[in-house]
Amino acid sequence: MPSRGRYRSSATCHVSVTTHMPKTRGGTRKNRDGTGSALWWGMFKRTTPRLLHRWRSPVLWLLSALLVLVLWLLSALLVLLAAALPTPLCHKIRGISLVLICAATGAALAMTWHAWRRGILKLKRETWLRALLLLVVASYTGGQELSQRQITEQVLSAPPAELSNVGRHVMVGYKDVHDIRHLVAHGAVGGLFITSRNLRGRSVDLLRHELASLQTLRRERGLPALIIAADQEGGVVSRLSPWLTALPPLAELASITPTHRRHKAVRRYAAIHGRELAALGVTLNFGPVVDLRARRAAGSADLYSQIPRRAIHHDPARVREVAHIYARELLSHGVTATFKHFPGLGRVTADTHHR
């Protein structure tokens, strides 16, 4: 019995020691070894995961929601890109667009593989739908490319007489001469349009020799000479500048007085265009603009037409006078002018390239 009392007193002493730790001057309790903050550290370890979980849950949910939204927006953008890819307005981004769509195809295949490995039921519904959407976009784009190649093969396999009869009404632009050499040789086109993409990173002499070689190919095949066209109006529409001389718009010459000085200035202006275009091999210039200039600025929706900045004058007699002198001087250098665009276009407020 003494031993039982001894054990009881020992237990009582142990409890009193652990429950009544002396306080330090700063207010924290000490353990038996005299080190502080043991109690607070234990509380921190127990409460911190709960606080972090409560703080991280809304943030992670928001980030995941934003990620899902971005992925859906990118998928929708790829759908619109695939639909607009065949249009001429997308020719500048055609290469990068095909790369993006191929990358999307790879992502769709990776998601499909992930679904096969883990099972469709283990994937979220939006992930599976997004993978399916990307596969549809890739299939649609691939089908368009195959269809385009089939059309090209059908055109080139047509009888030569029929191909030449239709091709003489067709004018195309190009970036790589190897892409159109077979069209030129088979008479599938009657003209070429050259612009800044044909001179970017190259010299004028190189383009001149390139066009001359295509004309030689036409003569060897017994076909009519190609019409080589450019859009060198002057002013804001000067597609071959700065490689060729950048001139102000003809509108700046239309207000010169007296009349003989105005005529002389227009002839000098047209002579510069005529010499430089003829030396390059151009036979047709898409200018001048003979639309009447409206007494207003271009509208905010007018991004490319910009007729108020390009038209010669608001007076029909002045426009006829300047355009006639310009076209006659241009023709004296072997280059034909083009009177454009349509009656009344100067009063249009929207962009006619999109309407």
What does the pLDDT look like over 63-86, one tens digit per residue?
Answer: 666 766 776 676 677 667 666 666
Show Cβ contacts of residue 301 under 8 Å, excluding neighbours closer than 6 positions: 349, 350, 351
Listing DSSP states for 251-320 in one string gives: HHHHT-SSHHHHHHHHHHHHHHHHHHHHHHT--EE---B-SPPPSSPPPTT-SS--HHHH---SSHHHHH
On the question of pLDDT at 190 being above 90, the answer is yes
Do 111 and 150 share a domain, yes or no? Answer: yes
Instruction: Identify the domain boundary among 139, 156, 173.
Output: 156
Do 182 and 137 share a domain, yes or no? Answer: no
The whole-number pLDDT of residue 195 equals: 95
Do 169 and 215 share a domain, yes or no? Answer: yes
Task: Classify 191 as helix, strand or coil.
Answer: strand
The neighbour count for residue 34, using CB atoms within 10 Å, is 9
Do 173 and 125 share a domain, yes or no? Answer: no
Instruction: Identify the domain boundary among 138, 156, 174.
Output: 156
Instruction: In whole angstroms, give the CA distance from residue 135 to residue 115.
Output: 14
Q: How many domains does the chain have?
A: 2
Asked if residue 342 is part of any domain, the answer here is yes
Do 139 and 188 share a domain, yes or no? Answer: no
Residue bearing the bigger pLDDT, 140 or 258: 258
Global pTM reads 0.65
Q: What is the domain extent for residue 143?
A: 54-156
On the question of pLDDT at 165 being above 80, the answer is yes
Instruction: Identify the domain boundary among 112, 132, 156.
Output: 156
Report the CATH number at residue 303.
3.20.20.300
Do 80 and 206 share a domain, yes or no? Answer: no
The neighbour count for residue 242, using CB atoms within 10 Å, is 9
